[in-house]
Amino acid sequence: MTTPILEPVGLGTRRAGPTHARFGVMAFIVGLAAVTYLDRACISTLAPQIQNDLNLDKPQMSLVFSSFAIAYAIFEIPTAWWAQKRGTRRVLSRIVLWWSVLTLATAAVVTPWGVTNWFPKLAPAVNGGAAWMISFWVMMTVRFLFGLGEAGAWPCAAASYARWIPAKERGIAQGLLFAGAHISGGLTPLLVIFLRDHAHMNWRAIFVLFGMVGFVWAGGWYWWFRDDPSEHKGVGAEELALIVEQRRPPTAHTAGWAYWVKLMTHRNTLPLCLMYIGNSYAYFFCITWLPTYVKEKHHMADAMLGIAAGLPLCLSVVGDIFGGLTTDWMSKKFGLWIGRSGLGAAMYAVAAVSMTIAALAGEPWVAIGFLSLAVASVMFTLGAAWSTVIDVSGHHTGMVGAVMNTAGNTAAIFSPIVAIYVKDNWGGWNSPLFVMAALFGLGAVSWLFIDPTKPIFDEPKDAAGFEVIQ
C-alpha cells in the first residue's frame, strides 16, 4: 500500500506555543549518519588483518572495497523510488536493519584454513591453495549485499528533511548530518585500534560489536518518526506552520518516460552529478586506503597512524557544520546562486590546490595536513549540495538526490582500484592524490553551471528563490 503524502491538518487543534520535534528528526538522522560511517570505516583500519586472515593481496582487497560501492550505486535509485512510494520511516528502518545484519555477516566470512578443513570438497587443494578464492568470493558477496542494503540512506535522509525542515534551516541540517558521519568516520580508526590493541578484540569481534548498534537506531526511528510532521503528535501548530510555510505542495510521483526525460535532461542534473564525483571518490579513498597510505608512505606507527588516518574526516566535521551555516547565511544575504553554487565552486578550488600541495609535500604532517584540508573543503560544500537538491526538486528530493549520489558512488567503485593501480604504475602513493586534485578541479567548474533557482519540475518559487505554496 502506498503511503500518501499528507498536507498539514488540524492546525487549530494542536497545542499552542513552540515545539521542536524537527530537531528530533535531525538528531535521528545525525545518529543514522554516525552508524553508517562506523560500519563503513572500520574495514579500512582492519584491512591488514583481514588480508592476512583471508590470504588477500591489495588488488583483491580493492575489489572487496569496490563490491560495496557497486551494489550501492546500482540500488541507490530503486531504493529512493521505493522510499518515495512507501515513506522513509519504513525504508530507513529496513536499510539500517539490513546493513547491521551484513556487518555481523562480515565477521562470519570463512578463512582459507576453514574452507580446507571444514569444506574439503569445495577446496581440495593441499594447504588451502585454492581455498583463498572461496574466502575472497564470500567476502565479495557479503560486502556487495552490504552495499545493496545501505543504498538509498542519504536520499532517504534528504527526503525526510524535505518534509520536516524549513527552507532556512536546510543547510545547517545537512551540515549536522554529515558532521555526524564524518566524526564517526574520523574517530573509527582510533576506536578500532583501541579495541584491537587494548581490549584484545580481533577483527571479527569488532564487526560484531559495531553491527549491534544499528538495531537500536532502527527500533527508535520506527517507533518515533512519522513520514510527515502533520502526523506527529509532538509537532505543535506553530512549528507545523513554520515547516510548511516554504514547502512545496504535494505533486504526483511518477516514474514514466516523461518524468525521467525531464529529470535526466534538466540543466542542473549533469553538473550536480559531475560535482559530486570528487566528493564520493575522496571519501571512499579515506575509508579504504588512507590508513595504508599513511603507513606505507609516511611510515607512521599505529598510535600516530590512527590520528593521521582519522584527521581528514575529523576536520571535515568543522567543515560540515560551518559549511551548513555559511550556505544558509549566504543564500539569505546574497541569493541562492551565490550561497550554493558560488560557495561550492570556491571551496572545490581550495580543495584542488590543497590536494596538489599534499601530493608534492615531503614532510609527512604537511602532506597529511593539506590532504585533510582538501577533504574538509569538499565536505564544507555538502550542506550546499544537498540543500540544492531540495531547492530544485521539492517532493522529488529522494529521486534527484539518488541520481546525484549514484554518480558519486559510481566513481567510488573505481576509487580503491584506481588508487592501487596508479600507485603501482604511475609514481607511488602521490599519484592517487593527483587524481583527486583533478576531480576537485572538475567539481569546481561543475558548480558554476548549477543554478539552484531553476527547479527541475517547474514548481514555483518566490523572489528570494524559496518554494511557495499555491
Give pLDDT, residue 122. Answer: 60
- Mean pLDDT, the chain, integer: 83
Residue 400, C-alpha cell as written in the block: 534527484
Is the model's pTM score more than 0.75? no
Question: ∠ CA 160-105-127 to the nearest 5 degrees?
Answer: 150
197-246 tens-digit pLDDT: 888 899 999 999 998 999 999 999 999 999 989 899 888 888 888 888 76
Residue 39 CA to residue 35 CA, distance in Å, equals 6
Give pLDDT, residue 23. Answer: 93
- pLDDT bracket for residue 439 (50, 70, 90): very high
Least confident span in 28-37, 49-58, 160-169, 460-469: 460-469
63-99 tens-digit pLDDT: 888 888 888 888 888 888 888 788 899 999 999 999 8
User: The domain 19-447 belongs to what CATH superfamily?
Assistant: MFS general substrate transporter like domains (1.20.1250.20)
Which burial class, exposed, middle or buried, applies to 50 when counting CB atoms under 10 A from its CB (0-12, 13-18, 19+)?
buried
Listed by start position, the domains of the chain span: 19-447
HEC-encoded secondary structure of the chain: CCCCCCCCCCHHHCCCCCCCHHHHHHHHHHHHHHHHHHHHHHHHHHHHHHHHHHCCCHHHHHHHHHHHHHHHHHHHHHHHHHHHHHCHHHHHHHHHHHHHHHHHHHCCCCCHHHHHHHCCCCCCCHHHCCHHHHHHHHHHHHHHHHHHHHCCHHHHHHHHHHHHCCHHHHHHHHHHHHHHHHHHHHHHHHHHHHHHHCCCCCHHHHHHHHHHHHHHHHHHHHHHCCCCHHHCCCCCHHHHHHHHHCCCCCCCCCCCHHHHHHHHHCCCHHHHHHHHHHHHHHHHHHCCCHHHHHHHHHCCCHHHHHHHHHHHHHHHHHHHHHHHHHHHHHHHHHCHHHHHHHHHHHHHHHHHHHHHHHHHCCCHHHHHHHHHHHHHHHHCCHHHHHHHHHHHHHHHHHHHHHHHHHHHHHHHHHHHHHHHHHHHHCCCCHHHHHHHHHHHHHHHHHHCCCCCCCCCCCCCECCCCCECCC
Give pLDDT, residue 275. Answer: 95
Residue 309 CA to residue 190 CA, distance in Å, equals 9
Per the model's pLDDT, the better-predicted residue between 41 and 371 turns out to be 371
Least confident span in 25-34, 339-348, 429-438, 456-465: 456-465
Please name the amino acid found at residue 82. W
Per the model's pLDDT, the better-predicted residue between 199 and 257 turns out to be 199
Residue 181 contacts residue 37 (beta carbons within 8 Å): yes
- pLDDT bracket for residue 7 (50, 70, 90): very low
Give pLDDT, residue 173. Answer: 86
Q: What percent of the chain has pLDDT over 90?
A: 33
Per the model's pLDDT, the better-predicted residue between 448 and 257 turns out to be 448
Residue 379 contacts residue 182 (beta carbons within 8 Å): yes
Decide if pLDDT at 4 tops 60.
Answer: no
Residue 179 CA to residue 362 CA, distance in Å, equals 30
Longest dimension (CA), the chain: 77
288-337 tens-digit pLDDT: 888 888 888 888 776 687 788 778 878 888 888 899 899 989 998 999 99
Residue 450, C-alpha cell as written in the block: 548549477
Decide if pLDDT at 349 tops 60.
Answer: yes
Least confident span in 38-47, 214-223, 351-360: 38-47
Give pLDDT, residue 129. Answer: 55
- pLDDT bracket for residue 2 (50, 70, 90): very low
Give pLDDT, residue 43. Answer: 83
Give pLDDT, residue 391. Answer: 86
